[in-house]
Structure 1
Amino acid sequence: MSSLLETPWVQVVEVTPHSGLRLKVKLSNDQELTLNLEPLIQSRDAYWRLRQERYFRQVSIDPIGGICWPEGEDLAPDGLERYTEGFSRRGIS
């Protein structure tokens, strides 16, 4: 599904994979985050597939605005800040 559902929470609107198990994410509130998922992926067996760069790069956005991969691994849109290396609030005064 290419369009997101209307929800009361902030959604991921863009996601781009980067080396080192990192993602660049843009949220519906114009925040841009760099997520370092390496500690999560290395510590949880449920994310074992994501340790393979080729698979990690298949990241996409699910219909509720979270991050997902083809075999069902996912991260909810709320709470992504816990994986943040830094963020900017563009368009917010």
Structure 2
Amino acid sequence: MTKDFNPVSVINIEVLNNFLLKITFSDGFSKTIDMTVLMDKEITKPLKNPDYFKQVKIDDFGGIYWPNDYDICPDFLRYYI
């Protein structure tokens, strides 16, 4: 059995406490993601700083990114975490 897959883009990000992001997608779906599950890599270490974490932006491809060029595609955000 396969999972239905529809390409989406992030259209809004709200930074919440405790490294949570509330993300709204182009299909109207919204979810809250605990980003701590991704903070064990070298490139994600800066995200452990709350002020740095708040610098998240939406990129030109509908994903999200931080100033150190760490980015996450919208499909991964929507369907896999």
The TM-score range, normalised by the shorter chain, is 0.7 to 0.9
Looking at structure 1, the residues matched to 15 and 32 of structure 2 have their Cα atoms a distance apart, in angstroms, of 10
Letter in 1 for 2:7: W
Partner of 2:76: 79
1:34 is the counterpart of 2:32: yes
Structure 1 spans left out of the alignment, 5+ residues: 1-7, 84-93
Following TM superposition, by how much is the alpha carbon of 1:55 offset from its aligned partner in structure 2, in angstroms?
A: 0.4
Letter in 2 for 1:55: Y
Partner of 2:42: 45
State the percentage of identical aligned residues. 31
Partner of 2:62: 65
Higher relative contact order (CA 8 A, sep 6+): 1
Letter in 1 for 2:55: Q
Partner of 1:21: 19
Deviations 1:32-90 (A, max 9, x none): 0101111211x21210110000000011100000011112011110121432xxxxxxx
Structure 2 spans left out of the alignment, 5+ residues: 1-5
User: Which portions of structure 1, spanning 4 or more consecutive aligned residues, are displaced by more than 3 angstroms?
Assistant: none
TM-score by length of 1: 0.75
Looking at structure 2, the residues matched to 17 and 53 of structure 1 have their Cα atoms a distance apart, in angstroms, of 10
Count of residue pairs the alignment pairs up: 75
